[in-house]
Each structure stands twice: as C-alpha cells, then as structure tokens.
Amino acid sequence: MSFSNSTSKIALATLLLSLPFSAQSQTTDNNDEIVITSARILGGSPDDAITGITILTGDTLDNRLASTIGETLKYEPGVSSSFFGAGASRPIIRGQSGNRVRVLVNGIGTIDAAAASPDHADAVQPAQAEIIEVLKGPAMLRFGSSGSGGVINVIDGRIPSEIPESTEASARVGFSSVDSGKEAAASIKQNLGNNLVLHLDGTWKESKDYRIPGFAESEIFHESEEDHDEDHDEDHDEDHDEDHGEEREGEMRDRLENSFTKTASLTGGLSYISDKGFIGISVHQLDSEYGIPGGHEHGHHEDEDHDEDHDEDHDEDHDEEEELVSIDLKQTRIDLNAVRELGGYFERVQLFAGYADYEHTELEGDEVGTVFANEGLEARLELIQTEENGRKGATGVHIRKSDFSAIGAEAFVPQTDTREIAIYTFQEQSYDNLHIRGAMRYENNRIVSEALNQKKSYGLFSVSAGSDYHFNSQNRLGLTAFRTERSPTSEELYSNGPHLATDTYDIGNANLDKETALGVELAYRFKSDNYFLTANAFITDYQDYIYKEMITDQMIDGLDVYNMLSSDAVYKGGEIQGAYTFEDINNVSISIDGLLEYVRAKTTAGNLPRIAPLSVLVGADAEWKNIQFRTELDYSAKQNELSSYELPTESFAQVNAFLTWTPEVNQNIKFKLSALNLFDEEARQHSSYLKDVVPLPGRNFRFSIKAAF
C-alpha cells in the first residue's frame, strides 16, 4: 500500500479528533438535491417513475453496508453479486455483469480494472456513500450505451454544492465477528467563509480470514473431483485409493484461507458556491489489499506434470498450489463538478469530470506477478432545459479516455488505448395522467492495440423510450422499450493468455461485431397509505451477444480454453415487491415486506453460465419509540438451469436481524447491532466463478456506532 497502516490510522484518527462534537445538529438535508442532480437530472422525485430507478439510502443503506458494492446491493430488486471473496464483488443486474453494468462515483466511472476480471475490485468505498442509485431504462443512456444491464451510481457528497448553515460532521465505527473486522469512517463539511466550503472524509477497514460453516469446497464439487480422480487413477494401488477416501478430512474448513481485506481512503473537496451555481474539486486516495481465495494460482499449471508423475510429485504439486495470491490496489482520483444557472431556454449548464491513475499488483506470495494499470479521463457537459408546458429535457456531450495495460506472466490482455465521444439527449413530457420520457445517444468508440497493430472503430446508436400512465392516485402502469448498441471491449477482442482468476485460458476474437440489445419492460405499481406493490416483467433480445465458450477438447498449460463468440441471446425475468404497514399496536409500528425475483438467460447454444436462481426475501420491521428492529429471511432456490460446464448450486435460506437504538438524550447517535446468517447456514452464490470453493461467510454479529453533528 502506498501509505502504511499506521499512517492511515493516524490520518483517520486526526480526522476523527477534528470533528466538532459540540456543533449543532445538521439543518441542511441535501438528499433531495443529490437525487435530482444525478438519477433525476430533470428534477422531480424518483417516485414519479415506476421503472428504472432504485434508491438506497438512510437506515436501509446502513444495514446493507458491506466492504464491496456488490455485496451492499445484492438485496435490491434485480441485483445479485459476483462474490469473489470479501475483497472483490461486483453488482450483477438481471444477469448482466462486467462491462454491461457501469459503476460510477458521483456520475463518473470508477476508472479501474474491475470490469476486466471478477477478482478485480471496484475502486469505490460503500462506507462513504450517502446514496446509491441503481438505474435502468432511459436514464442510463446519460452514462453510456455499454451499460445495457444498468448503471450503479454511488453518491458521496465529496464536492459540496450548498453552503451548510453550520458545520456538518459524522463518524462511524464498527466491528464484525465473522472476520474479526474493524472499521471506521468520518466526514466533515465546513463553511470557510467567502463562499468556500471544505469537505474531508476518510475510511479505514481491516478484516481477517472469515469463518465458514463447514468445508470450503461444496459437496457436489468434491464428488465430481473424486469421480475424476477415480477415473484418472484407476490403475493406482489400494493404499492410494484409501488415501483419497480420507482427503475430505484434510480439506479447508471452518475458515476460508486468504479472504482477508485491508482498505484505507482519504478524500478532500473544496467548492466555491454562489447564488448562480458552484464549482468544486476533490482529490481521493484509495489503498486496498485483499486476498484471492479459492486457490486459482500457479498450481493449475502443474496438472500435466501431475498426470505424468502422480505418485512421485503429488506432494510437491500440492505445496505449489498453496502459494497464496493477493491484490495490492492503489488509485489517485481527481474530480471536478460545476453548475451554472443560465435563465432563458436553458435553465443551467453542468459539468462532471474525473481523472484517475489506477494500478493494482497481483502478488503471488511475496513476489510480484502481474501489474494492471489504467489511466483514464471522463467528462460530461450538459445543458438542462427550462421546464415549459410540462416538457423538460437535457442534452450533453460525453467523453471517455482510457490507457489500459497489463504487464506480467499472466497478462491475458495487451496494452490498449480506448477513446469514446458521444452526444445524447434526454426528454420528458408530462400530461395530466401520462408521463412520457425518451433518450437518444450516439457515440464513437475507438480501441487501439499498438502491440498487436490493431485498431477498431465503432459507431453506436442507442435509443430508449418509456411512459407511465396514472389510472388514479394509487394505480400506475409503465412501459419501457430500448435498443442499445455496445462495442466489444479490449478483453473480448484481444485476450490471449491464462486468466487464472477464472481458471481459464482466454482467447479473444478481433472479428467481433457490435452487440445489439432490444428490450421491453412492463411495470405495475399500486400504492396506498399502508400498502405497496410493484411488479416488473422484462425481456431483452440480443443480436451478436458476446460471451465466452469452452472448447471441450483443448487445454493449454492445464487450463480449459475459452473462445470469445457471438450469438443471439435472450434474457427474461421479473421482480415482484410488496410491503404492508399495520395499524399501530400499543405505539408499536409494524410492517412486512417481500421481494421475489427471477431471471433466465440463453443463447442459441444453451443456457448462459452464472445466472442467479429464483430468490425470495421476506422481512418484518417493528419500531417502538427510539428502537427499530428488522428480521428477514433470504432464500435462494437450487439452480439447475446450467451451462454445459457448470455444476448445480444447492438452495439456501439465511436469516438476518437488525436492531437500531437512538438514545432519547441525543438523536444524532445511533447504535446498531446486526446478526447476519444467524443460523450459520452454508450458502453459495451461483453467480460467482468461485461458488464451489468459496462459500459465503458464516454467522456474523456486527456492531456499529454512528454519530452526526
């Protein structure tokens, strides 16, 4: 890490001590403004649209908070995660992952290497988030056409946009039992006078290898390995067969080796704010180190030697397999945000820009393996129209630049330069009971690899339209349709090498064409004083859908070979979500809620891999005076809809509970106690590459104290 553990702790402690504990309570609530200037760029409430926007904030965000953005969001409608251990977990939206889901910080991409591989973490800190948005539908074209699955936008307020009436500060400390985890976060917003506002925040977190309920390997995976060994070793002697029968006893269990995490971040922002707008800049430093569990390291290259000299080299090969891999990640990021009110036809102009220098090193023990680097710039300039006769709109220019490289023995993708320039418009028209919205985007992408003497250029046109009809104050019906085009990524075009995170040897396809998606979503919402119900059904048809397919009769260096192919594909599914609030009983407020979601994905060749199964989340909330309690059951069905090279994933049911106490003497302090996976249930996420060797954590008690001043 670029600054030591002790240095990061001292810096965070200094920030904590600088908080004005005698300051008055916050009087400025910026949440509505933040929502309007991000997901709802044209104003209004997210509740106005019944498709396309999910907002996570407040106590719900605090309860869901995890070290990765994927685990933080996995309980939201249509969202699962790619869980690659405690350090890396990306969000998956309706089965779509990788470059089809864009992750943003304050409206600008994370500028990292996360989309290149599931073991690469997003350069984002959920602990800093004030609001997290999940965007689908017309709104997502503002951020790019590549995010056909959706867009995640993490809003942390690092660039102030309003002058606070008094100093605003917050602090949080937390502990977790499953991994002996410790964390702290703090932020402060200070009026410096002369229209200047300062923002500072910092986070720090450490966790050890987490506990698991049983063996690291799933039973079905263990049995498949035994079957393979029996076929492979049928000529071995009886004693050796007996040894194999005892191997289960010596396997990893109770604690997942190499699942530790260490993370620290510091951010400073400064804004000049006037009656006509503001301009602000922020600097962010992120340092993170985390282990890659599951044993995907160099040991896999020894399979051929293992085949030839099984008895003699068996122990040696297993020793080599135990060399642990970790990732040391660093990013320095600078953001610029400006808004200027204009008057006339255009209400305002706004600029969002970000630059980042990102690097992570894959360490094999103490040795440097492969170094991934990405230096990138992204900017978006928008003109917001003044609302007139129910019509409002925004038009913008968007540019992205990325210089990506991977250097080392396991660099499966060459150095590439990617350039993107786009124009887009987003329009809304409102009548009495009908709201219509639409978006168009044209972009030109250029991907250059000088090492391969390859240059690709793609012109992409995307369009989306939606409407909501309000039958009355309680019933609404919405329909959204879109057609998007996505260019292949550098990994899909030019990969050629071992990708040990996924135990594959990846071979790209420089002849890939752009991917076209045509989708429709129908949504219904009922909302009354004490009852809420939404139901969504969607189908997306892809032409030239890009995916990896295993060549069954070929291996390189002991790894299965995967080619990048394109084919027609269909994603379909839906979500049903509801809640009911009972009449108060003895001053106790009680409500129940539920969520059911399902997605299915197929190409012309069969099922696509790592698609989450049917899942159900049911919960109950109770509130009495200054105490809030929630309990919930998270159920995931068995996944039998498999690709040709997948194993089934067993169903699981986990119980979680959350207790929040706010002292009457100080309403700005909250004590939280959570019990996750209360009954220590073994659980595996089918959407994870490592689901058969990396289970989810066991029973976990978390305690935190959060204070706002």
- When comparing pLDDT for 494 and 250, which is higher? 494
Q: What is the pLDDT of residues 145-182, one digit of tens each?
A: 876 789 999 999 999 999 999 999 999 999 999 999 99
5-217+252-708 CATH fold: Maltoporin; Chain A (2.40.170)
CA angle, 44 then 48 then 49, to 5°: 120
Do 134 and 152 contact (CB within 8 A), yes or no?
yes
Mean residue pLDDT of the chain comes to: 88
Cβ atoms within 10 Å, residue 100: 23
So where are the chain's domains? 5-217+252-708
Identify the bridge partners of residue 468 per DSSP, sorted by sequence position. Answer: 435, 478
Select from 379, 339, 337 the least CA-distant residue to 355: 379
Model pTM? 0.88
What contacts 393, CB < 8 A, 6 or more positions away?
Answer: 42, 384, 385, 425, 426, 427, 428
Q: Which amino acid is at 443?
A: E
Q: How far apart are CA 267 and CA 30, in angstroms?
A: 19
Strands 150-155 and 101-105: parallel
Q: Is pLDDT of 40 > 60?
A: no
pLDDT category at 31 given cuts 50, 70, 90 is very low
- Which token pair is 215? 């063996």
pLDDT tens-digit series, residues 102-152 = 999 999 999 999 999 999 999 999 999 999 999 887 778 999 887 678 999
Q: What is the mean pLDDT of residues 650-672?
A: 96
Is 599:593 a contact under the CB 8 Å cutoff? no
- Torsion, Cα 609 610 611 615, to 10 degrees, reads 150
Taking the C-alpha atoms of residue 126 and residue 203, their distance in angstroms, rounded to an integer, is 10
Main-chain dihedrals φ then ψ at residue 206, nearest 5 degrees: -135, 140
pLDDT score, position 503: 83
Q: Which band of pLDDT confidence, cut at 50, 70 and 90, is reported for residue 293?
A: very high
* Local confidence band at 25 (pLDDT 50, 70, 90 cut-offs): very low
184's tokens: 């702290």
Q: What is the pLDDT of residue 247?
A: 56
Contact 659, 622 (CB under 8 A): no
Q: 53-61: long-range contacts (C-beta < 8 A, 24 or more apart)? A: 53/133, 53/134, 53/135, 53/136, 53/137, 53/139, 54/133, 54/134, 55/131, 55/132, 55/133, 56/131, 56/132, 56/133, 56/134, 57/31, 57/130, 57/131, 57/132, 59/628, 59/660, 61/129, 61/131, 61/132
With 60 as the cut, is the pLDDT of residue 674 above it?
yes
CB within 8 A of 565, min separation 6: which ones? 509, 546, 547, 548, 549
DSSP letters of 148-174? SSEEEEEE---S--S--SS-EEEEEEE
Interhelix angle for 219-232 vs 238-245, to 10°?
Answer: 170
Pick 228 or 25 by higher pLDDT: 228
What's at 673, amino acid-wise?
A: L
Mean pLDDT value across residues 325-333: 97
Cβ count within 10 A of residue 170: 18
Q: What's the pLDDT tens digit per position in 235-255? A: 454 444 444 445 566 688 999
Per cent of the chain over pLDDT 90 is 75
Place of tokens 């698991």: 212
How far is it, in rounded angstroms, from Cα 56 to Cα 634? 18
Distance from C-alpha of 369 to C-alpha of 361, rounded to nearest angstrom: 7
Please work out, in degrees rounded to the nearest 5, the angle formed at the alpha carbon of residue 655 by the alpha carbons of 652 and 660: 155
Q: What is the mean pLDDT of residues 377-391?
A: 96
